[in-house]
Structure 1
Amino acid sequence: MKVKVQTLDGKGKGSDLELNDAVFGIEPRADILHRVVTWQLEKRRAPAAATRERADVARTGKKFGRQKGGGTARHGDRRAPIFIGGGKAHGQRAREFNPSLNKKVRALGLKMALSAKAKGGSLIVVDNLDLGEAKTAALKAQLAGLGLGKSALVIDGEALNVGFAKASANLREINLLPAIGANVYDILKHDTLVLTRAAVEKLEARFNG
Structure 2
Amino acid sequence: MELAVKTLDGKAAGKATVDEAVFGLTDIRADLLHRTVRWQLAKRQAGTHKTQSRDEVSVTTKKFIRQKGSGGARHGSRNAPIFVGGAVAHGPRVRSHAHDLPKKVRKLALAHALSAKVKGDALIIIDDAKLDAAKTKELSAKFKGLGVDNALIIAGAEVDDNFAKAARNIPNIDVLPVAGLNVYDILRRKQLVVTKSALEGIGARFEAKAKEGK
Task: Bin the TM-score by the shorter chain.
Answer: 0.7 to 0.9
- Contact 1:9–1:144 under 8 Å retained in 2: no
* Corresponding position: 1:167 with 2:134: no
Partner of 1:203: 202
> Which amino acid is the alignment partner of residue 53 of structure 2?
E
Counting only pairs closer than 5 Å after superposition, residues 117-156 of structure 1 correspond to structure 2 as 117-148=117-148, 150-156=149-155
CA distance in 2, matches of 1:16, 1:195: 13
> Which amino acid is the alignment partner of residue 17 of structure 2?
E
> Which amino acid is the alignment partner of residue 99 of structure 2?
P
| Structure 2 alignment gaps of length 5 or more | 209-214
| Structure 1 alignment gaps of length 5 or more | none
TM-aligned CA deviation for residue 61 of structure 1: 5.3
CA distance in 2, matches of 1:135, 1:50: 45
TM-aligned CA deviation for residue 93 of structure 1: 4.0
CA distance in 1, matches of 2:4, 2:143: 17
> Which amino acid is the alignment partner of residue 34 of structure 2?
H
TM-aligned CA deviation for residue 134 of structure 1: 1.7
* Corresponding position: 1:192 with 2:186: no
Partner of 1:157: 156
Partner of 1:53: 53
CA distance in 1, matches of 2:136, 2:206: 34
Q: Secondary structure at the match of 1:54?
A: coil
> Which amino acid is the alignment partner of residue 128 of structure 2?
N
CA distance in 2, matches of 1:87, 1:146: 58
TM-aligned CA deviation for residue 87 of structure 1: 2.8
Partner of 1:87: 87
Partner of 2:211: none
Against the structure 1 CA distance between its residues 4 and 69, is the aligned structure 2 distance closer, same or farther, given a 3 Å change threshold? closer
Q: Secondary structure at the match of 2:125?
A: strand
Partner of 2:21: 22
Q: TM-score, normalised by structure 2?
A: 0.85
Aligned-residue Cα RMSD (Å) equals 2.6
Partner of 1:34: 34
CA distance in 1, matches of 2:79, 2:63: 10
Against the structure 1 CA distance between its residues 126 and 55, is the aligned structure 2 distance closer, same or farther, given a 3 Å change threshold? same
CA distance in 2, matches of 1:169, 1:83: 48
* Corresponding position: 1:5 with 2:5: yes
Q: Secondary structure at the match of 1:22?
A: helix
TM-aligned CA deviation for residue 68 of structure 1: 6.0
Q: Deviations over 1:161-198 (max 9, x none)?
A: 11100111100121101111111111111111000011
- Contact 2:64–2:77 under 8 Å retained in 1: yes
- Contact 1:158–1:199 under 8 Å retained in 2: yes
CA distance in 2, matches of 1:30, 1:47: 27
CA distance in 1, matches of 2:42, 2:52: 25
